[in-house]
Structure 1
Amino acid sequence: MKRRAVSNPLALAVLANLLMGPNHPYEIGRLLKEQGKDRDIKYNRGSLYMVVEQLAKAGFIAEHETVRDTQRPERTSYALTDAGRTELYDWMRELVSTPAQEYPSFGVALSLLVVVPPAETVELLGQRHAALTAQVDEIRDTMRQAAEQGVDWWFLIEEEYRLAVREAERTFVAGLAQRLADPEYQRMWDDFVRGRTP
């Protein structure tokens, strides 16, 4: 993956928002939350303003207008620069076309799973399976409601992706729990622990 001047995914969302026209950070944050982008992009008000500063420093956005209103603090809107437009499209093309090595916390847990006794691991995986089932039901309900409201499918592709990932993980978790419940795994785990215990 290419090293970027500003690599925070929130920066990409800001660039994409400004593609529609100049805007100020407060409004960008409101739109991200309203559109449900906060499920995929972690941010708060402070991080949003910090990213805006980084993008401006990198030359990807520039101040467009500052509005002074006695009722509210002054607000500066920003516009996308030509360099920002180029960065947006280059970054998007890379993300869509090239799989990246990600480091999900569940992957870390799986790599160290042997430290937890098998019976407890099976119980914990059962809890995870139940949580995943609840998430799958919630996503399906969200998508159903959106479809009933006439929302076009391309506005729901991130929800389809979330659904596919959680369904795949749920299937994996159920199969793993079944394998770990096998008495043969318990025997191998006992031998491993005895071999490691002084």
Structure 2
Amino acid sequence: MSASVKSSPLGLTVLTLLHHRPLHPYGIQRLLKQWGKEQVVNVGQRAGLYRTIERLQAGGLITVRQTERDQQYPERTVYEVTDEGRAVTREWLEQMLSAPKAEFPLFPAALSNMLMLNPDEVAPILEQRAARLAAQRADLERPFTEAPTGLPRITLIENEYLLAVLDAEQRWLHGVISDLRDGTLTWSPEMLATFQEAGSGDASRD
């Protein structure tokens, strides 16, 4: 039955949280934010969380433990992980840790079409990105500065990884901006047209 449930970062994280104790959706969302998981899973919209919970329940990975009724709050359904859910959690975790997956983030797609703009237009746009990366770095570093002394490294390991990736992007981005500013990296419609004509000629000889 679990084969019908597609793995996802949010699904894995929900299952992991339910390993600790049964929770209702609001409790899951609150813990996701308290533990800083919004850096690695999309929890911006509660509707997405509810859809994930519905898929996990339909696949037999979680089940309803009880329904809480309190005069101060609407009725809340509390979920717990099933034995099958525990097995699938481990399976998904091992797959995600061991096997790189082809992903299609926005930035590389935009870079591949950057030639639609001219170099003078691109440089200030990338400088805006560099400034936003600097702000993102501050957000990622905050948990390290605010963490209690002696906190195990494993609790912030995802921030450590994201900072390493961000470091690499910042170094690369500053290099590209520098090359754009000094003319080392440049292009023009004429240059691209010449390249396309040469490519068309090679294809016609095949």
Task: Quickly name the TM-score band, shorter chain normalised.
Answer: 0.7 to 0.9
**Preserved contact between residue 11 and residue 52 of structure 2 (Cα < 8 Å):** yes
Say which SS state the counterpart of residue 75 (structure 1) adopts.
Answer: strand
Give the structure 2 partner of residue 63 of structure 1. Answer: 64
Give the structure 1 partner of residue 188 of structure 2. Answer: 189
Flag the 1:141–1:50 CA change in 2: closer, same or farther, 3 A.
Answer: closer
**Preserved contact between residue 64 and residue 77 of structure 1 (Cα < 8 Å):** yes
- In the alignment, is residue 77 of structure 1 matched against residue 78 of structure 2? yes
Taking the aligned partners of 1:138 and 1:17, their CA distance within structure 2 comes to: 23
Taking the aligned partners of 2:61 and 2:139, their CA distance within structure 1 comes to: 37
**Preserved contact between residue 66 and residue 77 of structure 1 (Cα < 8 Å):** yes
37-46 vs 63-72, which moves further: 63-72
TM-score, with length taken from structure 1:
0.86
Which amino acid is the alignment partner of residue 6 of structure 2?
Answer: V
Equivalent pairs counted in the alignment come to 192
Measured against aligned partners, the alpha-carbon deviations of 1:44-74 in whole angstroms (never above 9, x if no partner) come to 2222122111111100011111223344322
Indicate the percent of aligned positions where both proteins have the same amino acid.
Answer: 37
Taking the aligned partners of 1:41 and 1:184, their CA distance within structure 2 comes to: 38
- Offset at residue 41 of structure 1 (A): 1.1
For residues 100-111 of structure 1, the aligned pairs below 5 Å read 100-111=101-112
Flag the 1:138–1:8 CA change in 2: closer, same or farther, 3 A.
Answer: closer
- Offset at residue 15 of structure 1 (A): 0.5
Taking the aligned partners of 2:72 and 2:140, their CA distance within structure 1 comes to: 40
Flag the 1:4–1:162 CA change in 2: closer, same or farther, 3 A.
Answer: farther
**Preserved contact between residue 6 and residue 55 of structure 1 (Cα < 8 Å):** no
TM-score, with length taken from structure 2:
0.83
For residues 14-163 of structure 1, the aligned pairs below 5 Å read 14-43=14-43, 44-146=45-147, 149-163=149-163
Taking the aligned partners of 1:157 and 1:123, their CA distance within structure 2 comes to: 33
**Preserved contact between residue 4 and residue 59 of structure 2 (Cα < 8 Å):** no
* Unpaired stretches in structure 2, ≥5 consecutive residues: 197-206
Taking the aligned partners of 2:40 and 2:170, their CA distance within structure 1 comes to: 19
Which amino acid is the alignment partner of residue 47 of structure 1?
Answer: G
**Preserved contact between residue 63 and residue 79 of structure 1 (Cα < 8 Å):** yes
Say which SS state the counterpart of residue 188 (structure 2) adopts.
Answer: helix
- Offset at residue 145 of structure 1 (A): 2.3
- Offset at residue 189 of structure 1 (A): 2.0
**Preserved contact between residue 6 and residue 58 of structure 1 (Cα < 8 Å):** no
8-17 vs 71-80, which moves further: 71-80
Which amino acid is the alignment partner of residue 191 of structure 1?
Answer: E
